[in-house]
Amino acid sequence: MTDAPKISNRDLEKQISFFKDFLEKNGYYYNISRLYTLPKYDEKYAASEIKKYWENFIRANKGQEVLGNINFYVHTPFCRSRCEYCSFPSWELKDEKKLDEYVEYLIENFRFFRKTFSKIKFRNIYFGGGTPNILSSAQIEKLFSALFRNFNFADDPKERIWTYEFNSSVGELSKISLLRKFGFNRISFGVQSFSEKILLFNRRDSQKYETVKKAIETAKKNKFDIVNADLIAGFSTDTPDTFADSFQKLTAMRPTTITVYGLYPPSDKYLASHFKMNYPQYFKTYYPKKIPKLLKKAYDIAGKNGYDARPFGSMDFFWQFNDIRQLKKFNPRKSRGREYGGEFSSSSPSSTFGLGPFSRSYLRGTLEYQQSASQSRFDPEIKIYSGRKLSANDEMLRFVISSMEHGNILRPREFAGIFDKEIIDVFPYAMNALKKKKKMREKKGVFELFFKDSGEKFIFASFFAYESMAKK
């Protein structure tokens, strides 16, 4: 182990204030997962080049665990109408023909990549959006038939989670049983709130309580292993009572899991019109005060209704409440790649193959890329992907940020197991800064971290990001 470099108090304070300034000027970065997106995607690729990357990746990792943990992601970039709060990329559908075209487009992609993955069994599938259930039943059938004809997936249902995101106000609920018929075992409903005022104010008033209830009932009748429903906490007119009311109503419908997201305002414009604030004000004054009050209510109600959750931190951005009894029945086999949540996951040795505009893909230790342009017809030679190559150094940073994101803990043994290096040798300066400011304590071989809010967490995560970039 190398000796930690000495940092003078003066230098340390200077760095902290530098990161603080950066944070103030770029309020978007209160969420440390945004540190992943700091490096620019400078390179452009066509599908033919992406194909070669995957082929080389599969060859280079022959026999390794990572090849049994590749996830398949499909983005549906359309919605019936755009909800005002939404930070996910999609277009309002203006022309129904676009959906047929899109299904064709995806199927052409399947054919093009079929051979590349002929020896791979994908683990998880995630259809995210946008609104994947904007496709008609016939379109879904056509798409899935082609998907399962062209690719192989883990055989054991307990080894895989196949998710479909579903907006219950769009189209017929009969699509729910169709998804189950094709083997999907997790369905995720966007609910956000049951307050009519909030829904109206956010242009989501097409959603009706009765329809959500029916949709969750239908999913449960169809025996999905996991029925998830999302709520958002922190809308401008949300109060502890309106939030508690939504949470209570949702627990009564008994989804397997309830995911609560802290509102992450999608734009300056949204913040100005709904909150009369800018990002720093929102994250400094509003979010840390309001969210704990709303979440406290959720914890009380969850506890009384058989839902469990890990203790929450006020600087978190999402919380998952689980109906333990229902979840136990599913009892997925332990596999590090199984908790795929649609975005590229980090600490597990998984990778992701994504298709469709805005989809993101990740070849662990090699490349990450996003489809940044759309095509009406598939053309393998047009450079529609932007990305960047990944070094071991990038992966080590990803490990740290992800550990900080999913709990305030760093596990040096896990780090050494994956990278064959000591975390303290790779990030001596950042680790020293944490120690010196008494933000870290070693206990039973792990480092526990203590931050007073998301801003502070961001500042210390930046130490790691800068130390990593300085190595280039």
End-to-end, the C-alpha distance of the chain in Å comes to 21
Question: Does residue number 352 form part of the binding site for ligand SAM (CB under 6 A)?
Answer: no
In the shown chain, the binding pattern of residues 226 to 255 toward ligand SAM, with x for contact by CB under 6 A and - for none, equals ----x-x-----------------------
Span from 23-31, 81-89, 174-182, 257-265 in contact with ligand SF4 (CB under 6 A): 81-89
Q: How far is CA 105 from CA 86, 102, 109, in A?
A: 26, 5, 6
Bridge partners of 443, per DSSP, are 446
190 binds ligand SF4 (CB under 6 A): yes
Q: Segment near ligand SF4 (CB under 6 A), from 12-20, 85-93, 299-307, 436-444?
A: 85-93
400: exposed, middle or buried (Cβ count in 10 Å: 0-12, 13-18, 19+): buried
Q: Binders of ligand SAM among 98-137, rule CB under 6 A?
A: 128-129, 131
Is the four-CA dihedral 111, 112, 118, 122 of positive or negative sign? negative
Q: Which span sits near ligand SAM by CB under 6 A: 61-69, 102-110, 258-266, 328-336?
A: 258-266
Q: Which stretch binds ligand SF4 (CB under 6 A): 32-40, 48-56, 125-133, 444-452?
A: 125-133
Looking at 129, 234, 255, 262, which residue binds ligand SF4 (CB under 6 A)?
Answer: 129
| Size of interface with ligand SAM, in residues (CB under 6 A) | 17
CB closer to ligand SF4 out of 82 and 406: 82
**In whole angstroms, what is the distance from residue 466 CA to residue 472 CA?**
10
Does 90 bind ligand SF4 (CB under 6 A)? Our answer is: yes
C-alpha distances (whole Å) from 336 to each of 104, 296, 331, 345, 449 are 33, 31, 14, 11, 24
Q: Is residue 460 within 8 Å of 451, Cβ to Cβ? A: yes
Q: Identify what 314 binds: ligand SF4, ligand SAM, none; CB under 5 to 8 Å per kind.
A: none
Residue nearest ligand SAM, CB atom distance: 190
Of 375, 368, 232, residue with least CA distance to 291:
232
Q: Which of 342, 398, 390 is nearest to 35 (CA)?
A: 398
- Rounded Cα gap, residues 342 and 121, in angstroms: 18
Q: Which of 79, 135, 178, 302 binds ligand SF4 (CB under 6 A)?
A: 79
253's contact among ligand SAM, ligand SF4, none, with CB below 5 to 8 A by partner kind, is none
Sign of CA dihedral 147, 351, 65, 335: negative
Q: Three-state SS across 50-110?
A: HHHHHHHHHHHCCCCHHHHCEEEEEEECEECCCCCCCCCCCEECCCCHHHHHHHHHHHHHH
Piece in contact with ligand SAM (CB under 6 A), picked from 42-50, 80-88, 139-147, 389-397: 80-88
Applying the rule CB under 6 A, the residues between 265 and 304 that interact with ligand SAM are 266
> CB atoms < 10 A from the CB of 376, how many?
10
In the list 85, 126, 247, 319, the residue contacting ligand SAM (rule: CB under 6 A) is 85
Q: Is 357 in the site for ligand SAM (CB under 6 A)?
A: no
- CA-CA distance, 105 to 373, in Å (whole number)? 13
> In whole angstroms, how close is the CB of 358 to ligand SAM at the nearest point?
10
Contacts of ligand SF4 in 163-182 (CB under 6 A): 167
Stretch that binds ligand SF4, among 83-91, 242-250, 338-346, 348-356 (CB under 6 A): 83-91
CA angle 367, 430, 402 (to 5 degrees): 45
369: how many CB neighbours lie within 10 A of its CB?
A: 24
The option from ligand SF4, ligand SAM, none interacting with 266 (CB < 5 to 8 A, set by class) reads: ligand SAM
The footprint of ligand SAM (CB under 6 A) covers 85-88, 128-129, 131, 165, 167, 190, 192, 230, 232, 261, 263-264, 266
The footprint of ligand SF4 (CB under 6 A) covers 79, 82-83, 86, 88, 90, 129-131, 167, 190
